[in-house]
Amino acid sequence: MLMFGLYSAGLCLVKGLNQTNMDNRFAFGLWIFLDLTVIALGAGAFFTGFLLYILKVKELGAVINSAVVIGLVCYSGAVAALLVDVGQPLRFWFTFWYPNVHSMLTEVTFCITCYLTVLLIEYVPIVLRNRRLRQVPSFLIFEFELHKLVYVLAGVGTFLSFFHQGSLGGLFGVLRGHPFAFREGLAVWPSTFFLFVLSAAAAGPSFILLTTWLVSKISNRQLVRPEVLPLLGRISGMLMIAYVLAKTVDTLIWINHTSPGAGVPAWQYYSWKPFGTWILFAEIVAFGLIPALVLLTPRLRLRSNWLVSAAALTCIGIALNRFVMTLQTLALPTLSFDPFLSYFPSWQETGTFLGVVGFGVLVYSFSFRYLNLFPQERDLEQPEAAPVREPALAGRY
Partner 1 sequence: MFPWNYGFHWGAVSIVFLGAFYCVLTVISTTLILALRRTYRSAAQGRADRIRWRSEFQELAARDRLCRHMLSGEFPYRECRNAFDCRRCEAHARILEKRRPAAVAETEEEVFGMAFPLDRLYHRGHTSVLPQPDGTALVELDELGRRLIGVPDQIALPQPGTRLRANGTGWRIRKREADIRVLAPVDGEVVDVSPARGGCLLVRPAEAAFDHLLTKSEVRPWLLREMERLQLALTAQGAPTLADGGVPVDDILASYPSADWDAVCSRMFLQP
Partner 2 sequence: MSARSYGMSIDIDKCTGCGACMVACAVENNVPPAPEGVNERKGITWIRVFRLDNGAEGVDRKWAFLPMLCQQCGENTPCVSVCPQQAVQLDPATGIVGQMPERCLGCRYCMAACPYHARYFNWWDPSWPAGMEKTLNPAVAPRMRGVVEKCNFCHGRWHAAKARAAAQGRRDLDPADYVPACVEACPTSAIRFGDLNDLENAPERGSFRLLEKLGTGPKIYYQTQRDWVREIAAAPGGTERAHG
Q: Which of 56, 88, 137, 339 binds partner 1 (CB under 8 A)?
A: 137
By CB under 8 A, residue 276 contacts partner 2: no
Burial 54-76 (b: 16+ CB within 10 A, else e): eeeeeebebbbbbbbbbbbbbbb
DSSP-derived secondary structure letter, 384: P
Judged by CB under 8 A, the number of residues near partner 1 is 50
Per-residue mark of binding to partner 2, 226-265 (x: CB under 8 A): -----------------------------------xxxx-
By CB under 8 A, residue 10 contacts partner 2: no
Name the helix (H) or strand (E) containing 6. Answer: helix 2-15
Residue 322 contacts residue 33 (beta carbons within 8 Å): yes
- Pick the stretch among 43-51, 55-63, 94-102, 233-241 that binds partner 2 (CB under 8 A): 94-102
Q: Which of 2, 17, 116, 354 binds partner 2 (CB under 8 A)?
A: 17
- Residue of 100, 93, 373, 76 whose CA lies nearest to 221: 373
DSSP-derived secondary structure letter, 135: T
By CB under 8 A, residue 152 contacts partner 1: yes
Please report, as a single letter, which amino acid is at residue 92: F
**C-alpha torsion 336→339→344→348, nearest 10:** -80
- Pick the stretch among 15-23, 41-49, 191-199, 384-392 that binds partner 2 (CB under 8 A): 15-23
CA 155-158-163 angle, to 5 degrees, is: 135
What does 87 bind: partner 2, partner 1, none (CB cut-off 5 to 8 Å by kind)?
Answer: partner 2
What does 83 bind: partner 2, partner 1, none (CB cut-off 5 to 8 Å by kind)?
Answer: none
Measured in degrees and rounded to the nearest 5, phi and psi for residue 77 equal: -65, -40
By CB under 8 A, residue 107 contacts partner 1: yes
From CA 137, how far away is CA 22, in angstroms rounded? 52
Q: Which of 59, 103, 113, 248 binds partner 2 (CB under 8 A)?
A: 103
| Contacting positions for partner 1 (CB under 8 A) | 96-99, 101-102, 106-107, 110, 114, 117-118, 121, 129, 131, 134, 137-138, 140-146, 148-149, 152-153, 156, 159-160, 188, 372, 375, 378-379, 381-382, 384-385, 387-388, 390-391, 393-397
